[in-house]
Structures are given as structure tokens and as C-alpha cells.
Chain A
Amino acid sequence: MTGEIWQFTYIAAAMAIIGSIKWLNSPATARQGVMAGQIGMLLAVIGTLMRHEIVNYEWILIALFLGTAIGVPLAYLMPMTAVPQLTALSHAFGALAAALVGTAEYYRYNLAGENPGAFILTALAIEILLGYLTATASVMAFAKLQDLIPTRPMTYKGQNFVNLSLLVIAIGIGVWMIMGTAPQWAFPIFIVLSLLFGVLLIVPIGGGDMPTVIALLNSYAGLSACAMGFALQNHLLIIAGALNAASGFILSVIMCKAMNRSFTNVLFGAFGQAAAGGAAKQEARPVRSASAEDAAMLLEAARKVIIVPGYGMAVAQAQHKLGELSDALVKRGVDVKFAIHPVAGRMPGHMNVLLAEANIPYDRLIEMEDINDEFPETDVAMVIGANDVVNPAARHDKTSPIYGMPILNVDKAHTVMIIKRSMNPGFAGIDNELYYADNTLMLFGDAKAMVTAINKEVAALVNA
């Protein structure tokens, strides 16, 4: 068996990349996984630089340096709340790279008058289509997450028809290119349509559906890398791209399930719009409000407390104060846990990262399925910045837009405390009957200010 050194480097790189995802399954080995991934990527780059086809190094080195110079500050300067945006932006760059390589390859074949065959042309067309549409869709997702453009879904009549016909035309031109009979002007149009479709795909999607969309874009970026692997006959690309595609796909399925929605509904449903009707039947019902002092007394006397954080908590930057509160309570012998709904935050698992940043040990963060049975024996459930994920209407009210969505059963706890700015309904625009329940206490105020006040009261109780 003879082989080039780069071939063995690629095999080692593939093993390292598979290992990196494998090790990520537990917090204990996760950092080892990142190390393996980095080694795999380094091996892939070094192996590639050793290939005979590569004769010009100056420009490559400049490009590598430039990419590093932009990537490092991006990764270190973004706050943890902005991880979803950063991931979207990073997708955009990766997908654009795949699309550009596809473009360059197609152009090379075209200029040389070569026909590489239908298989390679199909792979190139898929790579280019998915690459460009993922790039613009990710930029749009970034802009929505960063609040550069309105996060509410933008819809107009016949939107799905326009989008779908655009995609059909793009695929038609793609097929034409694969048959090798397309004229010169068809290729630029194919690119423009791919770019445009990416933009239009995100326009009707609301901010609340972003977790699913980012995961889906992650999957597309992987598929596009995979298509590149088919076009270049590079097995390393196929393996790494397929792993990424599978990972993005599973995460988006999990997100869809957590919202009781289907893919088509997320992509074409324009949720925020349809749900607005539910807010109309709001009526003035009495609520019980309480002060920070009352809350502190209840928490301090409790044996078991479950805190339910939502994205509103992160917006108010209350996570550090919440960490202090949980530490103080744990020190007093209270059993404190955090209940994490799968869609809490703005990307899958985002809430865990935000709480970990506030030094909350990860063994106190419990997933919905594991903690839901514990609410009946919980003295105090404290909801902070979350709304729809604790709305009991999802269990019994068939007319509610969120009916069927799995929720955290906080209403089963002895006492429910809800920290909320005002009585305004949440993102889906749905009134929450939990606020009017007999065992619910409303703590009105800014999340951070309220938790700070509770902390102070708890400390006073301890010293008394």
C-alpha cells in the first residue's frame, strides 16, 4: 500500500473529529472534545498544505492570518447572551466559504471547457445553493438576534408562493447546469436566486423561533460542506460535514418538539402573527402581589425551591444575582434547583450557558423531563423572565395557540412566585392564567433589582 502523507493526516483528522463529538456528551470530557476537534482541524489544514496541487503559499498564509485576526476578537469580545448571534455569524462565514469554493470550482471547469460529469456537477450545484442560502439566511438571523432588524415576523400575502416559486426556479436552473446545456448567464442568476432565497426564508420567521432556525442552518452548513466533499472527492469533508448536518438536524427536531410545532410550521407559519388573537380576551382579574421581604421569608423557610429562568432573566442581566441567591439558600440548607425548558434562551441549551457563566454549578440545572415530577413536593417555584413555558393553558386549553407544548408544571408547587415587570403578556401574546391562581404571588419589578432586594432580605433574615 502506498500513500501520500496527507492521506494519513486526513484519516487522523477524521478520527479526531469523530472523537471530539463523542467526548462532548459529558461535561467531564467536553473540553477534551474541543481539544480533539482543534487537533483534527489542524491536521486537516497541515495535510492539505502538503498536497502537490498547492504551489502558491503567500496568499494562503495571508488569508489564514486575516481569518484568525478577525475570528479571535469575535470569540472573546461577544458576551454570553450573544452566543446565538455569534453562532449565526460564524455559520454565515462557513457557508459563504463553501459556496465560494463551489463557485470557483464550477468556474474552473467552465473556463477549461471540461465537463466533470453529472455526479460532480450535482454536488457542486447543491453546495452552491445551500452555501449561499445559508450564508444570507444566517446574516438575516444574526440581524434579527442582534435587533438590527425587527424580530417580529414580516409577512405579506402570497409569501409562501413567492418563496417556493423562487426555489423551484433556482432548482430548475441548477438542473439545467447539471445537464451541461445552460448558457453562461444562467450561473450568476443561480447564485443571485440562492442568495435571495436565504433572505426571504428568514423574513417571515419570528425571534422566538430562532433556536430552531439556527439549528437548521447549522445542518445546512454541514450538508453544504458534505456536497463539497462529493464534488472534490474528499472523504474527510464528507465525514465532518455529515456529522455536522446530523447534529444540526437533531437539535432542530428537539426544538420543534419542545414547542409542539412541525418544521413546516416554523418555516412557513409566522407564529407571532397568528397568536396575537389570543390576547384579546384579557380581562381585569385580581392578582396577589408581594414584596421582596415576603419572598425572602418564604424562600428562607422553604425546604425545596425550584427556580425557573427564562430569557427575560438574561435580558435583565439578573443571572449573577440569582446565583448569589441560590448560594445563600443552599447554605441555609434549602434544596435549590433550576428547571430548564428546552427553548429557554435563544438557541438550544443557551440557558445552561448563561447560568454556568453566573457560577451556578451545572448539577443544579435540571432538564424539564427530569424535574417536572418534583413540582408537587416543591415549596416555592420561582419564575423569573419566563412566561409561555409555564402557562398551564398549554395542558388543557385547546383554543390556546400554545396548546400541546410541553411546559414546566410550576402551578403544582405549593407557592409560585413570579418576578415580572408588569402584567403585559409574553412573546406569544397570550395571557397566562398562572398569574391569577390562588397559590401565585406576583413580584412586580425589574428582575435584577427584585432579586437584589430579595438577596438583601435573605441576608437580613440570616443575621437576625
Chain B
Amino acid sequence: MSNEFELSIYLFILAIALGLEMVHRVSPLLHTPLMSLSNAISAISVVGALVIAGSGNAPNLSRVLGCIAVTCSTINVVAGFLITDRMLKMFKKAPGKGGPK
């Protein structure tokens, strides 16, 4: 196993640990926005899709698949972020009170 692969695995372990730690702290109140936000973030695969869609040396079939992938992940990104924001806009505190501690 090369150093590069080893590094990727360390990174994966640390990112999972960080994710578990952070998500545990999210109030159950916001679990639905959390899910739609992380849904939008999972569309980071748009990066891989862009590279293969725009690549000059990939076969045509690969580039066509890449373009479809860019469209799909863009839908995922846009819908995910917009619906999260739409939901969060609705969360309001009671007027005049201090709200939760």
C-alpha cells in the first residue's frame, strides 16, 4: 500500500470520528435540516463528475456519463441547500422571551 492510500485511510477515520462527534451535538430539533444539509454535502461527488465530464482524454461514453452525473449531482446540491434554508427560515423563538437556555 502506497503512502497516498495510507494517508487517505487515516483521513477517512479522522473525518468519520469528527462527524460522529459533531452530529451527536446537533439538537433533535434540527435533525431534518441536518439530514437535508448533509444530503446536499454528499453531492460533493459533483467534483468527480466535473473532472470526468470535462476531461480531454476520457472515452466519449465516460464523458457522457460524466455529464449526466454533473446534472444529477447539481440537482442534489441545489435542492438540498435550498430546502434546508427554507426549513431553517421557519424556526423562530417565542417573542419577548429568552428562549431555551
C-alpha spacing A353/B46, complex, angstroms: 28
Tell me if A26 and B27 are in contact (CB < 8 A).
Answer: yes
Is B32 in contact with A232, judged by CB distance below 8 angstroms?
A: no
Shortest distance from the beta carbon of B7 to any chain A beta carbon, whole Å = 8
Which of A74-82, A158-166, A174-182 lies at the interface?
A74-82
A48: CB under 8 A from chain B?
yes
Q: Which of A31-39, A275-283, A389-397 contacts B (4 or more CB under 8 A)?
A: A31-39
Which of B35, B44, B61 is within 8 Å of A215, CB to CB?
Answer: B35
Q: Is the CB of A245 within 8 A of B77?
A: no
Contact B77 A67 (CB under 8 A): yes
9 smallest beta-carbon distances between A and B, as pairs: A67-B74, A246-B19, A349-B31, A71-B78, A54-B54, A242-B15, A75-B82, A361-B94, A94-B76
Contact B75 A74 (CB under 8 A): yes
Closest Cβ of chain B to A42, distance in Å, is 9
Q: Roughly how many angstroms separate A49 CA and B12 CA in the complex, as a whole number?
A: 25
- Kindly provide the distance from the CB of A374 to the nearest chain B CB, expressed in whole angstroms: 15
- A240–B82 contact, CB under 8 A? no
Nearest residue, chain A, Cβ from B86: A75
Q: Does A12 contact B (CB under 8 A)?
A: no
Are the C-beta atoms of B72 and A100 separated by less than 8 Å? Answer: yes
Q: Is A407 an interface position by the 8 A CB rule? A: no
Known A24-B30, A72-B82, A349-B30; contact A41-B41, beta-carbon cutoff 8 A? yes
Q: Are A119 and B38 in contact (CB under 8 A)?
A: no
Complex Cα distance A31/B62, Å? Answer: 37
Chain A residues with Cβ under 8 A from B27's Cβ? 25-27
Interface string of B64-101 (1 = CB under 8 A from A): 01111111111111111111111111111111010110
Q: Is chain A's interface secondary structure helix, strand, loop, or mixed overall?
A: helix
CB of A429 within 8 Å of the partner chain:
no
* B interface with A by C-beta (< 8 Å): 1-2, 4-5, 8, 11-12, 15-16, 18-20, 22-56, 58-59, 61-63, 65-95, 97, 99-100
Q: Is A238 an interface residue (CB 8 A)?
A: yes
Cross-chain contact B29 with A362 (CB below 8 angstroms) = yes
B58 cross-chain contacts in A, Cβ below 8 A: 104, 108
Given contacts A247-B23, A247-B35, contact A237 B12 (CB under 8 A): no
A54 to B2, CA, bound (A): 27
Binding stretch for chain B, among A13-21, A288-296, A436-444 = A13-21
Which residues of chain B are near A332, meaning CB under 8 Å?
A: none
Nearest B-chain residue to A51, judged by Cβ: B51
Question: Are the C-beta atoms of A235 and B11 separated by less than 8 Å?
Answer: yes
A340-B28 contact in complex given A53-B56, A104-B61, A247-B19, C-beta closer than 8 Å: yes
Q: How far is the CA of A448 from the CA of B99 in the complex (A)?
A: 28
Mark out the residues of chain A between 70 and 102 whose CB falls within 8 Å of any chain B CB in the assembled complex.
70-72, 74-76, 78, 80, 83, 86-87, 89-91, 93-94, 96-98, 100-101
Within 225-251 of A, Cβ neighbours of B (below 8 Å) are at 225-226, 228-230, 232-251
Contacts of A76 in B (CB 8 A): 82, 86
Q: Is the CB of A342 within 8 A of B15?
A: no
Known: A90-B80, A94-B42. A348 touches B12 (CB 8 A): no
The distance in angstroms between the C-alpha atoms of A233 and B87, with both chains bound, is: 35
> Which residues of A line the B interface, CB within 8 A?
17-18, 20-22, 24-27, 30-31, 33-34, 37-38, 40-41, 44-45, 48-49, 51, 53-57, 59-60, 62-64, 66-68, 70-72, 74-76, 78, 80, 83, 86-87, 89-91, 93-94, 96-98, 100-101, 103-105, 107-108, 111, 119, 214-215, 218, 221-222, 224-226, 228-230, 232-251, 254, 340, 342, 345, 347-350, 352-353, 356-357, 359, 361-365, 367
- Beta-carbon contact of A94 and B16 below 8 Å: no
Assuming the A-B contacts A80-B87, A96-B72, are A226 and B12 also in contact, with contact meaning beta carbons closer than 8 angstroms in the complex?
Answer: yes
Shortest Cβ distance from A74 into B: residue: B79
Given A70-B75, A93-B73, A237-B44, A119 and B5 contact (CB-CB distance below 8 Å): yes
Which residue on B lies nearest to A362, using beta carbons?
A: B91
- A240-B41 contact, Cβ under 8 Å, with A18-B18, A44-B47, A214-B35: yes
Collect the chain A residues with CB atoms within 8 Å of residue B48's CB. 98, 101, 105, 228, 232, 234, 237
**Complex contact A34–B93 (CB within 8 A):** no
